[in-house]
Structure 1
Amino acid sequence: MDIVKEAVVEYRRTGTIANRNRSVLMQWVRGGIDFDMFQDMVSKFPFTSEEWSQFLHLSERTIQRYKKEEKNFDSLQSEKILQISLLYQRGVEIFGDKNNFNSWLSANNIALGNVKPKELLDNAFGIALLEEELMRIEHGVLA
Structure 2
Amino acid sequence: MGRALKTSDSLSYKLIDDKDVFMLISTVREGIKYNMFQNIADKSPFSTSEWSNYLHLSERTFQRYKKEKRTFDPLHSEKILEITLVYNKGIEVFGDKDNFDAWLEAKNVALGGIRPKELLDSTFGIGLLRDELMRIEHGVLA
- Structure 2, unmatched stretches of 5+, are none
Q: Which residue of 1 aligns with 2:115?
A: 116
Distance 1:125 1:70 in 2: 29
Deviations 1:29-50 (A, max 9, x none): 0110000000000000001111
TM-score (normalised: structure 2): 0.92
Q: Which residue of 2 aligns with 1:98?
A: 97
**Matched ranges for 1:80-91 at <5 A:** 80-91=79-90
Distance 1:42 1:3 in 2: 22
**Matched ranges for 1:19-98 at <5 A:** 19-20=16-17, 21-98=20-97
Distance 2:65 2:55 in 1: 13
Which structure would you say has the larger RCO, counting Cα contacts within 8 Å and 6 or more residues apart?
A: 2
Equivalent residue letter for 2:11: I
Distance 2:135 2:101 in 1: 18
Distance 2:111 2:11 in 1: 26
Deviations 1:47-86 (A, max 9, x none): 1111001000001111111122221001110000000000
Distance 1:131 1:94 in 2: 11
- Structure 1, unmatched stretches of 5+, are none
Q: Which residue of 2 aligns with 1:17?
A: 11
Please list every run of at least 4 consecutive aligned residues from structure 1 whose deviation after the TM superposition is greater than 6 angstroms: none
Count how many residue pairs are aligned between Structure 1 and Structure 2.
136
Deviations 1:86-113 (A, max 9, x none): 0011100000000000000000000000
Equivalent residue letter for 2:67: K
RMSD of aligned alpha carbons: 1.2
